[in-house]
Structure 1
C-alpha cells in the first residue's frame, strides 16, 4: 500500500470509528431496543449539546470542573515530586514509608468524600482536596521509581562536577526521572478529571457533575441534556489526554522511548 494512502487511512480510522458508534447509537435507540426514558437518541442528545454550548451556564460548569482538575493536579504533582525525590534518595525513609504509601494508594478517593464534605462542604476546596488526594499516591510512586532508576554514573558525574542541592535536583534528578513522571502525569490527568466530576456529582459542588445530576432529576425530557454533559466530560478527557501525550512527545523528544516510537511510526507508514 502506498505510504500516502496508508497515512490517510490511519488518520481517517478514528473518525470512521466515531461515526460507526454514533450510527449504532441512533440505530439501537430508534429501533426500539431502548425507550426514551432509558436512553435518548443520538440526534436528540447532540441537539441538546449544541443548545447547551450556546449558554453561559454550560461554560461556567466546564470552567468549574477544569479549575478543580488543574489545581488538584498541580498540588499533587508538586508534592509528589518533592516527597518522592526525598524518599528515593534515602533508603531508610523509602522502606519506612513504602507501607504507608501502599495503604493510602489502595483507599479509593471517593471513599473519603463524605468526610471531606463534612469538613469542607460542597466547595471548590473540597474538590481540589479530593483530586489531590486521589492522584498524589500513584504519582509519588512514579517519582520514586523514576528517581531510583537513575544511572548511578549520572549521580557520580554530577557530584564530581560539584552539582549539588537544588541545582542537581533541577538539572539531573528531574530530567532522569522525566519518563516516569510524564507517564504518571498523563494517567493522573484522567483520574483527576474523573474525581472532579464525581465530587460534583455526589458532593453537589459546581461543575459538570452537578449539571448531570440536575438533568437526571429533571425527568425523562431532560435526559438528552444529561447525556450531553456526559459527552462533554468525555470530550474534555480526550482533549486533556491528547494534550499531555503531545506535550510528552515534544518535551521528551530526546528520550529513547520517543525515538523508538518515532521509528515505529515511520515503519508503519512505509
Structure 2
C-alpha cells in the first residue's frame, strides 16, 4: 500500500491541475462565453474523440504522421551525427561552416514549406524533407558541442593507442557526444512532430493535420472532431517526449546528468 501511495503521490498535483482545466473548459464553453463555432464544449469534444478512437481513419492518420516524423527525424539524426562529428573534430572546417549553419539555423522550416510543396508536392517526401530540414540544424549544433566537449584525456589516450578512423568515431567520439545527442533528439522530436502536423495541415500530406483541416472545412458540426484530432496530436507529443526522456534516462544512466533525475535534481550521496 505504501509503495502504491509513493508512486501515486507525484501524479496527484498534475492530475488535479488537469481536472481543473477540463472543468474550466466545460464551464466556460457551456456558459455561452464562446459560440459553438468558436470553441466546442469539453463533453462534445471528448464524445467526438471517443467516436474517432474506434475508427480506422484516426489510426491511419496517426500512423501517417508518425511515419513522416520517424523517417524525417532519423534522416536528420544520421546527417547531424556524421556532419557534426566531422566539423567538431576539425577547427578549420568548423570555422568555414559556422556562418552557413547560423544562417540556415535561423530560417524557420515553415518558411520553406511553399517551395517544398512546389518541388515535391503533397507527399510523404515533402513532409520528410521539411522535418529533416527543421531538425537537422539544432541537432548538428548539439553534436558539435558534444564532440568539442570531449575530455582531452580521452582524446589523447585514443590517439596514443592508435585508435583512428571509423573505430575512433564509434568507440570514442559517439560515446563522448552521446549526452548532447540524446538531449538534442528529445528536443528535436517535439519540433519534428509540430512540423509533421504543419506539413499535413498546410501542405495537404496525409496525417493528423490533414484530418484537422477536413474537419474544419466540414462545418460547425464537425468542430468537436477537429478539436478531438488536436487533442490526439497533443497526446502524441506528450507520449513521444516522455518516451525520449525515458530512453535518455535509461541509456544515459552512466552519465552524471542523469544521476539526480527522479530525486528532485539532487545527486545521491
- Tell me if both proteins adopt one fold, taking TM over 0.5 as the criterion: yes
Counterpart in the other structure of 1:174: 174
Q: Cα deviation per residue 1:91-129 (whole Å; 9 max; x = unaligned)?
A: 011001011001000001111111101110000000000
Q: Using a 3 Å threshold, how does the CA distance of structure 1 residues 150 and 265 change in structure 2: closer, same or farther?
A: closer
Residue 212 of structure 1, CA deviation:
0.3
Unaligned runs of 5+ in 1: none
Counterpart in the other structure of 2:165: 165
Give the 4+ runs in structure 1 shifted more than 6 A. Answer: none
Counterpart in the other structure of 2:192: 192
Question: With structure 2 as the length reference, what TM-score do the two structures score?
Answer: 0.95
Distance in 2 (alpha carbons) for counterparts of 1:110 and 1:182 = 24
Residue 33 of structure 1, CA deviation:
1.4
Counterpart in the other structure of 1:115: 115
Number of residue pairs matched by the alignment? 267
1:40 aligns to what SS in structure 2? coil
Matched, 1:95 2:119: no
Question: With structure 1 as the length reference, what TM-score do the two structures score?
Answer: 0.95
* Coordinate RMSD, CA, aligned: 1.7
Counterpart in the other structure of 1:74: 74
Counterpart in the other structure of 2:20: 20
Greater CA drift, 156-165 or 182-191: 156-165
Distance in 2 (alpha carbons) for counterparts of 1:141 and 1:152 = 20
Q: Cα deviation per residue 1:163-215 (whole Å; 9 max; x = unaligned)?
A: 22111111111111111111100000000000000000000111000000010
Distance in 2 (alpha carbons) for counterparts of 1:127 and 1:4 = 43
Q: Cα deviation per residue 1:7-59 (whole Å; 9 max; x = unaligned)?
A: 53322222222111111110100112111111000010001011011111111
1:113 aligns to what SS in structure 2? helix
Preserved contact between residue 259 and residue 267 of structure 2 (Cα < 8 Å): no
Distance in 2 (alpha carbons) for counterparts of 1:6 and 1:64 = 39
Unaligned runs of 5+ in 2: none
Query: How do 1:1-270 and structure 2 match up within 5 A?
Result: 8-264=8-264
Residue 264 of structure 1, CA deviation:
3.4
Distance in 2 (alpha carbons) for counterparts of 1:4 and 1:46 = 29
